[in-house]
């Protein structure tokens, strides 16, 4: 990732401080740069201030898993499935259900 891209996103956010897409973009940029604490701050801001931004829940849950915070990941996936269902976003619901099942050890295959 280019620092130029990161700088542009930060500048955009200064002009639109409540834009959930910009916060999400910054969170994913920081995650890609292995700056987990900064990514975490943006993802947590999103779930607190933009709870209906469905894409947040998958990535925040995965970050919690990476940080060995299983119970936080579990709650995040559960909340994300609820938000996805309310938004009628079947794709996001399915992805969240898949990672939730995997986390909980429920990812079994039929014989």
| Chain segment 56-72, per-residue pLDDT in tens | 999 999 999 999 999 99
Instruction: Indicate whether 65 belongs to any domain.
Output: yes
Number of separate domains in the chain: 1
Q: Mean per-residue pLDDT for 3-27?
A: 94
Q: What is the mean pLDDT of residues 86-101?
A: 97
Around Cβ 84, how many Cβ atoms within 10 Å? 23
Could you give the CA distance from residue 80 to residue 23 in angstroms, rounded to a whole number? 17
What pTM, to 2 d.p., does this model score? 0.89
Confidence (pLDDT) at 110 = 53
Tell me if 22 is assigned to some domain: yes
Q: Read off the CATH number of the domain in which 68 is found.
A: 1.25.40.10
Residue 106 pLDDT: 87
Whole-angstrom Cα distance, residue 47 to residue 18?
A: 13
Given a cut of 80, whether residue 35 has pLDDT beyond it is yes
Q: Which domain range does residue 69 map to?
A: 3-103
Owner of token pair 């259900």: 97
Confirm if 35 and 8 have CB atoms less than 8 A apart.
Answer: no
When pLDDT is cut at 50, 70 and 90, the band that residue 111 belongs to is very low
**Least confident span in 2-11, 16-25, 31-40:** 2-11
Whether 28 is covered by a domain: the verdict is yes
Our CA angle for 11, 8, 30, nearest 5°, is: 100
Q: What is the pLDDT of residue 3?
A: 72
């Amino acid at each position: 990732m280019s620092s130029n891209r990161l700088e542009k996103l930060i500048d955009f956010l200064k002009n639109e401080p409540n834009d959930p897409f910009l916060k999400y973009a910054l969170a994913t940029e920081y995650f890609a740069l292995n700056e987990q604490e900064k990514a975490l701050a943006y993802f947590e801001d999103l779930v607190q201030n933009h709870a209906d931004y469905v894409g947040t829940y998958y990535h925040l849950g995965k970050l919690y898993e990476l940080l060995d915070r299983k119970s936080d990941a579990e709650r995040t996936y559960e909340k994300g499935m609820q938000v996805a269902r309310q938004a009628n976003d079947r794709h996001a619901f399915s992805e969240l259900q898949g990672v939730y099942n995997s986390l909980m050890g429920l990812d079994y295959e039929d014989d």
